């Protein structure tokens, strides 16, 4: 599991995460939801060992989260991070050389699903297709934890829904946990097992999606809006 124990992360005087205590169990798809600037990206970086808390500790399977956890954590950043002269195939081979759990056969299936041409230069790809390539690179790994930061940003609305639903085919729920940080809720709601709300660096709530729908009779979006309103009241 991933644990936050009294974690605070600041940038200057501003809190990105404040006094956070959180447990993320394995084998689920978890939505980390909140407005832009709420602390979602920083939270994922803390889980991936790419940021260090000012106070407290983040652990992955009991190990303090540093860059060494990359062997069990796949992280998809919202930012572009490619070598522009590379082709799509070059990037696939590069990732295969860096991560022992990267499966070339799965990457090829994902390329077909995402309709990406292996020989295409990355600098010639649209923003949406660069986003698809990032998903290929993350999901082709057999990492225990896959952290996705705004993974559907830039994807065409007409194809986003089919891509979101199709991704379930490429996740091994017996072995993998997916954390999706996003402010776009409608598209990913059908995927989610749990949701966590974050605003101004504070984890406000954590709830099972089935409970939200069946017991509270709300969509995740409705529940999120109500939860924010209650916290502000």
Q: What is the pLDDT averaged over residues 68-74?
A: 90
Distance CA 105, CA 28 (A): 24
User: Which domains does the chain possess?
Assistant: 2-232 (3.40.50.300)
Assess contact for 46 and 7: CB atoms under 8 A.
yes
Query: For the segment 155-190, what is each residue's pLDDT rounded down to a tens digit?
Result: 776 677 777 777 778 888 788 999 999 877 877 888
pLDDT band at 43 (very low <50, low <70, confident <90, very high): very high
Closest CA to 73 of 5, 22, 2, 23: 2
Beta pairing, strands 55-60 & 73-76: unpaired
Is the pLDDT at 77 greater than 60? The verdict is yes
Q: Where are the alpha helices (DSSP H) in the chain?
A: 40-47, 88-98, 104-114, 127-139, 157-166, 209-214, 220-232
Task: Provide the 10 A C-beta neighbour count for residue 63.
Answer: 13
pTM here is 0.90
Task: Provide the 10 A C-beta neighbour count for residue 166.
Answer: 13
Is the pLDDT at 191 greater than 90? The verdict is no
Structure confidence at residue 35 (pLDDT): 85
Assess contact for 115 and 166: CB atoms under 8 A.
no
Q: At what angle do helices 88-98 and 127-139 cross, to 10 degrees?
A: 30
Length of the chain: 233
Q: What is the pLDDT averaged over residues 15-41?
A: 91
Structure confidence at residue 231 (pLDDT): 67
- CA count, 13 A, side-chain hemisphere, 169: 12
Is the pLDDT at 233 greater than 70? The verdict is no
């Amino acid at each position: 599991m991933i644990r936050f124990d009294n974690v605070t992360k600041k940038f200057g005087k501003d809190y990105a995460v404040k006094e956070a205590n959180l447990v993320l169990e394995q084998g689920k798809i978890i939505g980390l939801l909140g407005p832009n600037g709420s602390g979602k990206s920083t939270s994922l970086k803390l889980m991936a060992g790419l940021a260090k808390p000012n106070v407290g500790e983040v652990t992955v399977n009991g190990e303090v989260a540093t860059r060494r956890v990359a062997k069990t954590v796949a992280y998809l950043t919202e930012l572009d991070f490619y070598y522009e002269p590379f082709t799509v195939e070059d990037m696939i081979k590069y990732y295969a050389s860096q991560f022992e759990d990267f499966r070339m056969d799965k990457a090829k299936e994902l390329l077909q699903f995402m309709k990406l041409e292996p020989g295409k230069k990355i600098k010639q790809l649209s923003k949406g297709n660069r986003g698809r390539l990032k998903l290929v690179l993350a999901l082709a790994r057999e990492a225990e934890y896959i952290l996705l930061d705004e993974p559907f940003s830039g994807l065409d609305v007409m194809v986003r829904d089919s891509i979101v639903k199709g991704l379930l085919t490429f996740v091994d729920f017996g072995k993998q946990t997916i954390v999706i940080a996003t402010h776009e809720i409608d598209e990913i709601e059908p995927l989610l097992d749990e949701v966590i709300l974050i605003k101004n660096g504070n984890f406000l709530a954590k709830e099972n999606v089935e409970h939200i729908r069946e017991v509270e009779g709300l969509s995740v979006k409705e529940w999120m809006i109500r939860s924010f309103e209650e916290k502000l009241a």
